[in-house]
């Protein structure tokens, strides 16, 4: 596969307009990727999800998409529940956008060829840096409160196969601003590697609500890395629905970098067949009086596998920290597999932190009770599963978005 990637890379550099410094930086990232290779079980962060094995089993020769059909008809999944702004993304590139509900002098979509200079120590981020054609950024200016949610429609060409799709899309909120973002995966292609990197910076007194919805059935391999930074009195509501892709890992690092920052990070993993999904979180409490809340619930059927790795880190100066983390899983088949690794690393004295993980089957007594009230076995199980997952959905603060996501989930 290495030879194919190198050949595709030369074609990529010829097509895009990079300066010499950018080309050298990208080549360094590609070299680092080859030195490290795709992540495997020997790496602690990947001990439950052998990415190298998944890629080799599903992708023959990894290609780079050089051309994009701008005339593609987008599946917008008509959302009649609420008005919204739109950004359409095809194969890792923004094709068009509509911010018609906003003051467009206050919210903007920026793009350039810049990439990070630091050693990322993550081969998939190296690969992303090497192959992203543009660096996109959604920027909300100081004091602006977005009027409507922004939906990002992520599309991959229908006939695409064994191709690398790379996207870098950041979000910056200046002071006293707010934004609601919904990421919808519309991929209907098969066996592609989708590699997404995002940095989110939330300035003082600002609020971001960010939703990542992967519910569209596909055989793609998907990796999303989110690096989150929060300043004083800022808040982030982060929600994940992990369901559709064959393989998916959401890698989230959140740093609470000033007083009274807070994050609510909630997720649902709902899998069947032989899908394998993972949510991995690290929440760094770096300053005083910050709060973090994490609730991840999982339902597994057939031969599905799921992983939750969650860590709360509390710096020595982060007194008055309030950190909560809980993972719960329902295993509906003896062939499913669930792994959890909750962690606390605390260096401050005055903190309130808790973590835990449980897994098990549906309660037989509850099933018996519901059947005694006239429900069938299938109806009883469905009601209990929906009730189990609904607790997470109810954490969504925006009522319109909550009802939309519950409709997608069928609860």
**261-294: pLDDT as tens digits:** 999 999 999 999 999 999 999 999 999 999 999 9
Task: Point out the least confidently predicted range of 19-28, 35-44, 244-253, 380-389.
Answer: 19-28
Is the per-residue pLDDT at 147 higher than 90? Answer: yes
What's residue 242's pLDDT? Answer: 98
Q: Stretch 73-85: mean pLDDT, rounded? A: 73
Question: Using the 8-state DSSP alphabet, how is residue 45 labeled?
Answer: G
What's residue 17's pLDDT? Answer: 82
pLDDT classification of 95: cutoffs 50, 70, 90: very high
Is the per-residue pLDDT at 66 higher than 60? Answer: no
pLDDT in tens, 336-345: 999 999 999 9
What's residue 38's pLDDT? Answer: 96
Q: Stretch 86-96: mean pLDDT, rounded? A: 93
Q: Stretch 178-198: mean pLDDT, rounded? A: 92
Distance between CA atoms of 347 and 355, rounded to whole angstroms?
16
pLDDT classification of 396: cutoffs 50, 70, 90: very high
What's residue 332's pLDDT? Answer: 98
The Cα-based distances of 380 to 40, 324, 336, 358, 359 in angstroms read 40, 31, 21, 22, 19
Q: Stretch 140-164: mean pLDDT, rounded? A: 93
* Cβ 107 vs Cβ 99: under 8 Å: yes
Task: Point out the least confidently predicted range of 80-84, 282-286, 361-365.
Answer: 80-84
Task: Point out the least confidently predicted range of 15-19, 69-73, 97-101, 188-192.
Answer: 69-73
Is the per-residue pLDDT at 73 higher than 70? Answer: no
CA atoms within 13 A on the CB side of 225: 15
Is the per-residue pLDDT at 1 higher than 80? Answer: no
Q: Reduce the secondary structure of 176-218 to three states and give it as a string.
A: CCEEEEEEEECCCCECCEEEEEEEEEECCCCEEEEEEEECCCC
What's residue 260's pLDDT? Answer: 98
What's residue 166's pLDDT? Answer: 95
**Who contacts 233 (Cβ-Cβ below 8 Å, separation ≥6)?**
204, 205, 258, 259, 260, 261
Distance between CA atoms of 141 and 210, rounded to whole angstroms?
18
Question: Using the 8-state DSSP alphabet, how is residue 231 labeled?
Answer: -
Q: Stretch 72-83: mean pLDDT, rounded? A: 68
| Radius of gyration over every alpha carbon of the chain, rounded to an integer in angstroms | 21
Distance between CA atoms of 12 and 131, rounded to whole angstroms?
8
* Cβ 275 vs Cβ 301: under 8 Å: no
Q: Stretch 132-145: mean pLDDT, rounded? A: 97
Structure tokens at 404: 């939309």
Of 201, 135, 133, nearest to 171 by C-alpha is 201
Distance between CA atoms of 220 and 255, rounded to whole angstroms?
30
Distance between CA atoms of 100 and 263, rounded to whole angstroms?
29
* Cβ 163 vs Cβ 62: under 8 Å: yes
Comparing 133 with 238, the larger pLDDT belongs to 238
**Region for residue 410 given its phi and psi (left: phi exceeds 0; alpha: psi -120 to 50; beta: otherwise):** left
pLDDT classification of 10: cutoffs 50, 70, 90: confident
**What's the mean pLDDT when you consider all of the chain?**
94
pLDDT classification of 375: cutoffs 50, 70, 90: very high
What's residue 278's pLDDT? Answer: 99
Q: Stretch 160-173: mean pLDDT, rounded? A: 94
The Cα-based distances of 72 to 75, 89, 214, 288 in angstroms read 9, 11, 21, 50
As a whole-number percent, the residues of the chain with pLDDT over 70 amount to 96
As a whole-number percent, the residues of the chain with pLDDT over 90 amount to 82
Q: Stretch 201-210: mean pLDDT, rounded? A: 99
Structure tokens at 116: 């990070």
What's residue 74's pLDDT? Answer: 55
CA 249 remoteness from chain centre: 8
Whole-model pTM? 0.95
């Amino acid at each position: 596969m290495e030879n194919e990637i190198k050949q595709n890379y030369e074609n990529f550099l010829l097509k895009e307009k990079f300066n010499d410094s950018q080309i050298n930086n990208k080549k360094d990232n590609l070299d680092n990727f080859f030195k490290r290779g795709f992540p495997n079980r020997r790496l602690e962060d990947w001990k439950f999800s052998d990415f190298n094995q998944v890629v080799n089993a599903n992708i023959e020769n990894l290609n780079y998409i050089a051309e994009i059909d701008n005339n593609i008809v987008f599946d917008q999944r008509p959302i009649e529940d609420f008005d919204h702004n739109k950004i359409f993304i095809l194969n890792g590139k923004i094709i068009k956008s509509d911010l018609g509900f906003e003051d467009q002098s206050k919210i903007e979509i920026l793009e350039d060829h810049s990439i990070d200079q630091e050693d990322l120590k993550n081969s998939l981020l190296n690969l992303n840096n090497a192959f992203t054609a543009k660096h996109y950024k959604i920027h909300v200016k100081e004091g602006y409160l977005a009027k409507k949610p922004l939906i990002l429609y992520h599309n991959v060409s229908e006939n695409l196969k064994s191709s690398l799709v790379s996207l870098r899309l950041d979000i910056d909120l200046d002071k006293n601003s707010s934004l609601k973002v919904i990421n919808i995966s519309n991929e209907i292609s098969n066996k592609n590697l989708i590699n997404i990197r995002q940095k989110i910076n939330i300035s003082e007194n600002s609020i971001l609500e960010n939703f990542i919805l992967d519910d569209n059935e596909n055989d793609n391999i998907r990796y999303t890395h989110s690096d989150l930074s929060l300043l004083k009195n800022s808040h982030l509501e982060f929600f994940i629905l992990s369901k559709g892709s064959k393989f998916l890992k959401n890698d989230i690092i959140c740093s609470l970098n000033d007083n009274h920052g807070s994050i609510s990070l909630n997720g649902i993993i709902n899998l069947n067949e032989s899908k394998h999904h993972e949510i991995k979180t690290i929440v760094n409490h770096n300053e005083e009086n910050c709060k973090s809340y994490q609730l991840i619930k999982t339902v597994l059927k057939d031969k599905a596998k799921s992983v939750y790795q969650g860590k709360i880190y509390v710096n020595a100066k982060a007194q008055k920290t309030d950190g909560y983390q809980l993972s719960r899983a329902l295993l509906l088949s003896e062939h499913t597999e669930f792994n959890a690794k909750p962690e606390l690393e605390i260096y401050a004295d005055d903190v309130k932190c808790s973590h835990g993980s449980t897994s098990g089957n549906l309660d037989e007594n509850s099933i018996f009770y519901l059947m005694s009230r006239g429900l069938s076995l299938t109806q009883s199980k469905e009601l209990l599963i929906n009730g189990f997952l609904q607790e997470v959905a109810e954490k969504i603060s925006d009522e319109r978005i909550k009802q939309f996501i519950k409709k997608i989930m069928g609860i």
